[in-house]
Structure 1
C-alpha cells in the first residue's frame, strides 16, 4: 500500500539525532495534564506505531493515543475526514495528501512558531530543513500545515528482458537516450501495426498519472505552470531565450509527450487501444512506464515472475535543474483538536525520527543514487511541484483533457490556451 513503508522507515531511524528549531524541537513533558490523542492512519498498520508511542511516552507520560486505521479510495477517505471535522468528531491528527492543504487549510490548525520566532522564520526553517517539495505544498499563506515523513516520486520502470533483447545495457538517463530506446524497443507487424510498445506515453485514458508525467516534462522544460501570486495559469505562455528566440516551454513539453501517441511521428509507440499502462507493463506488452514506488507491489501481484528494474526519471540532456514529480501524505492537526500543541509535538517527534526527506540526507541519497529502491530514496531531493489551486482534482482533469484533445487532433497551443483559461478561472474563483 502507498503509506505502509513509511512506518518501517521510521522504526529503523528511531535513533536518529533530533534537529534543532521549532519544527523538530520536542519538549520534554509537553503537558502536565492528561491528553488523549486520536490519530487517523490511511493505509497504515497501527501496530507499527507501538514502539514509537512507548518511546514518546517515556517523556510524555500524560499523553495517550488511539490509532484508527482507514483505507479505501482517497476520495472516500477525504470525505469521511471532512465530514468528521464538520461534525466536530474529527481526529486530532490525520494524514492529508500534499495537494489537499490549500483545499482544506481552514479545517486545520497550523504549527505555531516558538519563543521569538516569526512566521517567516518558521517557514524558512521548513524550507531549510526539508526537501523543496515539502515547502511547496505544506506552506499556505505563510503558515505550516503539515509534515510528511516520506515522499514518493515518479520514476522509470523498465522490462529487463526487453532491454537485453534490444542490446540496451542501461536505462535512459536523458530524453535523447529515451527516444533512441523507444525506436529500438518498438515492434510492428508487416502492416505497421504496433505489436509491442516501447513506452506508455502520449495518451491520458490508459496512462496512469498521465497528468503528473506532463507536469514533470513541463517543469523540467522551464514552464511556470501557475503565476507566483496564484491568480492565473501561465503554462501556455512564452519565454524569451537569451538568444532572443520566443519559446513556449509548456507547448514544447506537451508536443513531446504527445509524440509517442502520434502515428505521424517516428517515436510513435502507444495509442488509445492499448490496455492500462500498468497492465500492459506486467503483461510484457510495453517496455517502459513511469510510476511511483507503491506500484511495485501491484506489478508483483499481477505477474510474480516478472523481471523489471527501476531507474531515475530521465532528464533534459546536460540540465542543471533535474526534476521529477512528488506524491506524499503529511501528518496534520485538525481544528477539532483540544490538544493541538500536544498533537503537533507528536508530529514533530515523528519527523525527528524520520530523516528520509530532510534536505541533507536526501541530497546524500541522491548523490549516491543508482537503480532500484535507491531511486526512491534519492529523488525526493530533486522533486518539484506547483500550486494546484483549492481544486486539485479539477486541475488534474483539465490536463488529462488537454492530452485527450491533442490526441484527437486539436492544435497544441489551442489546447493549452483553453486549459489555461479554465485553470485561471478556478484560481480566481476558488483560490
Structure 2
C-alpha cells in the first residue's frame, strides 16, 4: 500500500512539473505573458543613461516595459507628492539619501524574496518554451553592508514595524546606483600665478593658499576670491561643506536617541561651533582669510568665470563646467582634512526606492536589484560618469581620470540623519551661517536655535 501511494505521488509530481511546460497551463506562463509597465521617476539623468539597463532587463523579461520620466529638481517633490495623493505616482522613484526618513511612509521596504517568472526555450528538434516561477532571495542587511560602501547602510536601513503589535525589524528602503563625494575644484592658472604648485591637502594649507589667492582693492572690493565659501545662499551646497567641517572636527551630529546634537557643548569646547567659526571666517572682513561675501555671484558661476580659485563641488559639476567653460584650465583634488585628524569625506547621492502604492512590488524590486548589481550597473556609471556605490568597483574607478578623486574618497564618506524634513534642516544651517556673519545672535545661541529647529522635524 505504501509503495502504491509513493508511486502515485511520484506520478502526480511528474505531471505537475510537465504541466509547467505546457502552453497556457501554468501560473508561470500566465505571469510571464502578462504585460507590466514600470513607471520610473528620477532627477538629473535623462532616459539615455538608463536605456541600457531597461533594454537588457526587457531581454530577460519581454513582458516588462518602462515609462521613464526625468523631472526638474525644483519641481520634483511637489510633483511626487501630488501624484501619490492622486493615486498616479510612479512604481520606482529616486529620493535623496537625506530624504528617506521624510518619505518612509510612502516607501515599500525590500521584501525577503521576489517571485519572478522566467522562460526558456528547450528541445533540439521540437522547440518548446518552458516557464518557471522562481522565488529569489533579495538582499539581507548584512549583504548590503558587505556589497556597498559604508555610508549606504546608515542611510537606507531603517526600522520597520508591520503592525503596532509586530516586532521592530531592520529593512532596506532603497538602493543607490552611485554615491558622489564632495571634492575640491581648482583653477590651475590662478594657482600657478600665485606660485602654488599643488592644491592644499590640509585646512591649514588651504587657509594659507586662500590668503595668497585673494585679491582685494583699496575699497575692500573682492577682485578675485581665493575660495568660494563662507556664506550660505551664494555658495552651492554650503550645507554640505559646513556638515563636513563639523564631522571632520569630531562633532556628534546626532545622539543615541537619534536627535540632532551638533550644537552640544562638551566642557568649554563645542566642535560644532568651532566648525561654524572656521567656515564663516572666510566671509569675515576682519580675518586674514577673508575672501568671500554675500555680494559675490553664485560660487559655481564665480569659478567657471575665473573669479574664484577654489570651488567645492561634485561629479555632477563636471559636465556643467564643460558646457559653460570648455577652455577653463581646472582640475579636482581631494577635500582638505584636519592635520592629524581622522579622514572624513562627505557623501551626496540618490537612492532608488519602490512606492508603497505600486501594483508591481516584485517586478519593481527585482529591477532595482538588477540595476544596482555589479554586472549591470557599470553601463550606467560609464554613461552617466558617476562614482560607484559598490565596494567591488572602487578600485576600477581609481584608474578613471575623471572619477579617480571622487572614488578615492568613497570608503571614508559619511552623511548624517537630518530628520524628517531635510529642507528645514538646510534652512536651519543657512540661518546659522547668516546669524554668525551678521553677529546679531551669539554663536552659542545661534547653533542651539539651529539644533532645536532640526529636532522639531524628528
Partner of 1:69: 69
Q: How much has 1:372 moved relative to structure 2?
A: 4.5
Q: Which runs of 5+ in 2 are unaligned?
A: 1-27, 115-134, 160-169, 379-387
Higher relative contact order (CA 8 A, sep 6+): 1
Question: Is the contact made by 2:37 and 2:67 (CA closer than 8 Å) also made in structure 1?
Answer: no
| Matches of 2:407 and 2:253, distance apart in 1 | 26
Q: What SS class does the counterpart of residue 268 from structure 1 fall into?
A: coil
Partner of 1:275: 297
Q: How much has 1:225 moved relative to structure 2?
A: 1.3
Q: What SS class does the counterpart of residue 456 from structure 2 fall into?
A: helix
Cα gap change, 1:75/1:197 in structure 2, threshold over 3 Å: closer, same or farther?
closer
Per the normalisation by structure 2, the TM-score is: 0.78
Question: Is the contact made by 1:324 and 1:379 (CA closer than 8 Å) also made in structure 2?
Answer: yes
| Matches of 1:305 and 1:147, distance apart in 2 | 37
Residue 250 (1) aligns with residue 290 (2)? no
Partner of 1:399: 429
Question: Is the contact made by 1:38 and 1:66 (CA closer than 8 Å) also made in structure 2?
Answer: yes
Partner of 1:419: 450
Runs of 4+ with >6 A deviation: 115-119
Q: CA-atom RMSD, angstroms?
A: 2.7
**Structure 1, residues 353-390: CA drift from partner, whole Å, max 9, x if none?**
2262112433x368x58974311233222221111111
Residue 94 (1) aligns with residue 93 (2)? yes
Partner of 1:37: 38
Equivalent position to 1:154, from 176, 179, 182: 182
**Structure 1, residues 129-183: CA drift from partner, whole Å, max 9, x if none?**
2112211221222221111111222111111101111111111111111111112
Give the paired residue count: 388
Residue 262 (1) aligns with residue 305 (2)? no
| Matches of 1:236 and 1:387, distance apart in 2 | 15
Partner of 2:144: 126
Partner of 2:125: none
Q: How much has 1:351 moved relative to structure 2?
A: 0.8
Per the normalisation by structure 1, the TM-score is: 0.83
Question: Is the contact made by 1:402 and 1:419 (CA closer than 8 Å) also made in structure 2?
Answer: yes
Cα gap change, 1:302/1:48 in structure 2, threshold over 3 Å: closer, same or farther?
closer
Equivalent position to 1:384, from 393, 414, 427: 414
Question: Is the contact made by 1:109 and 1:335 (CA closer than 8 Å) also made in structure 2?
Answer: yes
| Matches of 2:348 and 2:404, distance apart in 1 | 17
| Matches of 2:202 and 2:231, distance apart in 1 | 21
Q: Which runs of 5+ in 1 are unaligned?
A: 1-27, 241-245
Partner of 1:9: none
Partner of 2:319: 297
Partner of 1:337: 358
Q: Which has the higher strand share?
A: 2
Q: What SS class does the counterpart of residue 170 from structure 1 fall into?
A: coil
Question: Is the contact made by 2:173 and 2:353 (CA closer than 8 Å) also made in structure 1?
Answer: yes
